Amino acid sequence: MADILEPLTWTCPVPLRDQERVVMGHGGGGKLSSELIEHLFLPAFGSQALAAAPRDSAVLDAGSTRLAFTTDSYVVQPLFFPGGCIGDLAVNGTVNDLAMSGAVPLALSTGFILEEGLQLEVLGRVAEAMGRAAKRAGVRLVTGDTKVVGHGSADGLYVNTSGVGIVAAGVELSPDAARPGDRVVLSGPIGEHGVAIMSVREGVEFGTRVDSDSAPLTELVLAMLAACPGGTGAGIRAMRDPTRGGLAGSLCEIAEASGVGVRLDEAAVPVPDAVEAACAFLGLDPLHVANEGKLVAFVDPTVVGDVVAAMRANELGRQACVIGTVTDEHPGMVVGRTAFGATRVIDRPLGEQLPRIC
Amino acid sequence: MADILEPLTWTCPVPLRDQERVVMGHGGGGKLSSELIEHLFLPAFGSQALAAAPRDSAVLDAGSTRLAFTTDSYVVQPLFFPGGCIGDLAVNGTVNDLAMSGAVPLALSTGFILEEGLQLEVLGRVAEAMGRAAKRAGVRLVTGDTKVVGHGSADGLYVNTSGVGIVAAGVELSPDAARPGDRVVLSGPIGEHGVAIMSVREGVEFGTRVDSDSAPLTELVLAMLAACPGGTGAGIRAMRDPTRGGLAGSLCEIAEASGVGVRLDEAAVPVPDAVEAACAFLGLDPLHVANEGKLVAFVDPTVVGDVVAAMRANELGRQACVIGTVTDEHPGMVVGRTAFGATRVIDRPLGEQLPRIC
């Protein structure tokens, strides 16, 4: 056991950009987050860490059952925003992390950290939103925990949802499985969640109101898997929900994990007018803005037609489209072809573009 | 989906002691915590809530596998204390919640909320303690998440660990299964974790240094189950690890859930001298002080001898002893017989005796 009188034993094996302290970007889902995992958590956890390609959820053998398991803490500010609140976000986000492994959610846990003085009515509204979102996603809230910290030690409330789900036999999705020739499929327009948060936080509106796209993607994923030969997704290599870090972050992660290049046709990526306007106003790239109800999939060209057709038949995939191709050139990199025919390297953000987005 | 412009719909169905705001006691594991679950979370979660007797972990059917699932957030202050730190506490606490359902831990998740400006070295030491504790408990850290909040919005760091485990066929432990005639068994001396925290927080020492008892109980539980006829714990009705709320809280919860009375022989409960001294100094009842490496079990009298013998053969159960009996008198209540022969009703604390204890 650790002993308070022991000398400090931990030393960072690789300098974290010469930083000695946590910065906001370490929680942003970008390069700094990856470095924290690679250079701090994995070495410190030692032999007990499951070192693997970064996944939205781990897939484990539990007896004869294939179990997906994931966790996310939610610290979004403000707690309520256009189109949702921290409660439905926490349910949908964790359900979607399970769905990205092809899992049907079985149960969620709810771990609250409450600030002393929080109005019970606010907590009640958040919990009610969680119950409604869980019902929509077909998942139960089976176990929970509540801690209270003093006034000033949390911004109202934080909530962690962890989730377990079942992965059907034959379903194999992995971020390191993309191959040259695969098509990149996006389920719908990007940037709505991030812009919804920004609009309330900054008190600005961008033409029409933008609502968060927070939604559970399980049904959409199951329809995609069923559209493939054998019905278990043969030909779908990898899926990811582009939350923190945006679409650019998800594409870069899969390109890196699979050791392939991605050619992105930027003109094919649907960006709502209001998102475009907000990003122009704020100096942001829509490719870096968070989504909470979208997915990107890497799909064999022989099945991509059937997969996109199945997606378009689902409420949450009506605007599904092919946005790019996997190449064996420039492995680990994403290269965009802009609407004007120019090409550019699309990098993921270093740190946090919009802090406290989820 | 919740809409920010919708009228507030949630109203508390039962007044929570006429309170409108969260108080520290709502996180204390006592009556206020129970009321928050019963009157706020369960009604607000609606049909998706798993309403059941309060358990340390939920047990679910996942295909042909019986899965235990639990979550806990850790907000202990200070982060490092005699005998441990928030890291090993977070691993052992969640492993023990699984063990109380008779489960062998399969995997843990790690969800960090970090405060901007936290020294990376502190985070590294906490993570290293988690890796070591996970190794000792035989469990892997398979999935994680990191969020960062601004300076002043968290006290260094908070960490959530959720866990999944496998419950063997035939193992049936439930807090509502205690029966009159059962013996109450305690695995060892009480109060060490709470006193260890208090000693550093208050800067006082109580004779000898008291170390937290933070430890993983899986092996002890498996030895107890194996000691019963059939090897799957037949005759052990319920187990609980007396953390927040202390031994009194655990006994009261099982008495209430099972609708039975408990007669506690207070003189039989081992209390270390330094814990006794600290509690006298601070005006606390050792029965209310938190433990992080102890369990209390309700056991059929025909097997209790074998169970206690098996416990004493385990490092963490050397001082195991029978401390009471279940009766059909005063259902839902715990009555103590003091060392002087007097009797008293032992209630669980209303709220938080020692805030931020875990």
Q: What percent of chain A has pLDDT over 70?
A: 94
Residue-level pLDDT at B15: 57
Whether A41 is in a domain gets the answer no
- What is the overall mean pLDDT for chain A? 92
Q: Are A260 and A327 in contact (CB under 8 A)?
A: yes
**Closest chain A residue to B104, measured at CA:** A62
Closest Cβ opposite residue B114 in set A27, A115, A133:
A27
Assembly ipTM: 0.94
Question: Do B148 and B262 share a domain, yes or no?
Answer: no
**Is the CB of B49 less than 8 angstroms away from the CB of A135?**
no
Same structural domain, B256 and B163: no
**CB–CB of A265/A337 below 8 Å?**
yes
Domain, as residue range, for A153: 53-167
Tell me the mean pLDDT in the region B113-129: 96
Residue A1 lies in a domain: no
Task: Find the residue in B nearest to A55 (Cα).
Answer: B143
pLDDT at B2: 39
pLDDT above 50 for B5? no
Q: Which residues of A touch B88 (CB under 8 A)?
A: 1-2
Confidence band of A3 (pLDDT split at 50, 70, 90):
very low
**Quick one: which of B273, B249, B316, B308 has its CA closest to B25?**
B249
Is the CB of A143 less than 8 angstroms away from the CB of B55? yes
Q: What is the pLDDT of residue A17?
A: 61
Write the CA distances from B72 to A45, A96, A226, B228, B258, integer angstroms: 19, 22, 36, 30, 24
In a domain, A91, yes or no: yes
- What are the helix (H) ranges across B48-191? 86-99, 120-137
**DSSP 8-state secondary structure symbol assigned to residue B301:** T
Among B245, B189, B208, B214, CA closest to B80: B214
Q: Do B114 and A70 touch (CB under 8 A)?
A: no
How does pLDDT run across A175-193, given as a tens digit for each residue? 999 999 999 999 999 999 9
Please give the Cα distance from B82 to A310 (Å, whole number). Answer: 58
Would you mind telling me the total number of residues written for chain A in this entry? 358
User: B161 and B177 share a domain?
Assistant: no
H or E stretch at B166: strand B157-167
Crossing angle between the packed helical segments B218-226 and B86-99, to the nearest 10 degrees:
20
Find out whether B173 and B102 touch, Cβ atoms under 8 Å.
Answer: yes
Q: Do residues B265 and B307 both lie within one domain? A: yes
Q: Average of pLDDT values for A137-161?
A: 96
Residue A352 is encoded by which pair of tokens? 């946090």
Q: What is the three-class DSSP state of B333? A: coil
Question: Has residue A252 been placed in a domain?
Answer: yes
Res. B10 pLDDT band, cuts 50 70 90: low
- B111: nearest CB among A3, A72, A164: A72
Q: What is the CATH number of the domain that holds A237?
A: 3.90.650.10
| Residues A48, B134: C-beta atoms closer than 8 Å | yes
Task: Show the 3-state SS of chain A.
Answer: CCCCCCCCCCCCCCCCCCCCECCHHHHCCCHHHHHHHHHHHHHHHHHHECCCCCCCCEEEEECCEEEEEEEEEECCCCCEECCEEHHHHHHHHHHHHHHCCCEEEEEEEEEEEEECCCEHHHHHHHHHHHHHHHHHHCCEEEEEEEEEECCCCCCCEEEEEEEEEEECCCCCCCCCCCCCCCEEEECCCCCHHHHHHHHHHHCCCCCCCCCCCCCCCHHHHHHHHHCCHHHCCCCEEEEECCCCCHHHHHHHHHHHHHCCEEEEEHHHCCCCHHHHHHHHHHCCCHHHCCCCCCCEEEECCCCHHHHHHHHHCCHHHCCCEEEEEEECCCCCCEEEECCCCCEEEECCCCCCCCCCCC
pLDDT (tens digit per residue) in A68-80? 999 999 999 999 9
Of B9, B88, B123, the CB nearest to A22: B123
> Which of left, alpha, beta for B177 (phi over 0: left; psi -120 to 50: alpha)?
alpha
HEC string of A15-26?
A: CCCCCCECCHHH
Per-residue pLDDT reduced to its tens digit, B129-160? 999 999 999 999 999 999 999 999 999 999 99
**Partner-chain contact B113 A158, CB within 8 Å:** yes
Give me the amino acid identity at B353: Q
Domain boundary among A167, A200, A233: A167
What does each C-alpha distance from A221 to A69, A102, A238, A297 come to in angstroms? 17, 7, 11, 10
Mean pLDDT calculated for residue range A305-323:
98
Residues A78 and A137 in one domain: yes
Q: What gap in Å lies between CA B99 and CA B111, rounded to an integer?
A: 21
Does the residue A127 lie in any domain?
A: yes
- Integer Cα distance of A309 and B315 in angstroms: 61
If one counts the domains in chain B, the total is 2
CB contact under 8 A, A132 and B71: no
Do residue A49 and residue B22 have CB atoms under 8 angstroms apart? no
**Six-digit token pair at B173?**
């432990």
Residue B113 in domain: yes
- A146 plus A196 within the same structural domain: no
- Tens-place pLDDT, residues B253-276: 999 999 999 999 999 999 999 999
Q: Got the DSSP string for B31-75?
A: HHHHHHIIIIIHHHHGGGB---S--SSEEEEETTEEEEEEEEEE-
Mean pLDDT over residues A14-31, rounded?
81
Q: Are residues B206 and B274 in the same domain?
A: yes
Together in a domain, B143 and B103: yes
**pLDDT band for position A56 (50/70/90)?**
confident
- For the cut 60, the answer to whether the pLDDT of residue B40 exceeds it is yes
Residue B76 has pLDDT above 80, yes or no: yes
- Asked if the structure places residue A30 within a domain, the reply is no
- Residue A46: inside a domain: no
Query: At which of B167, B195, B230 does a domain end?
Result: B167
Answer whether residue A9 shows pLDDT above 70: no
pLDDT digit string (tens) for B198-223? 989 877 776 678 999 999 999 999 99
Euclidean distance between CA atoms A212 and A214, whole angstroms:
5
What's the pLDDT at B79?
A: 97
Among the partner-chain residues A113, A121, A139, the one whose CB lies closest to the CB of B10 is: A121
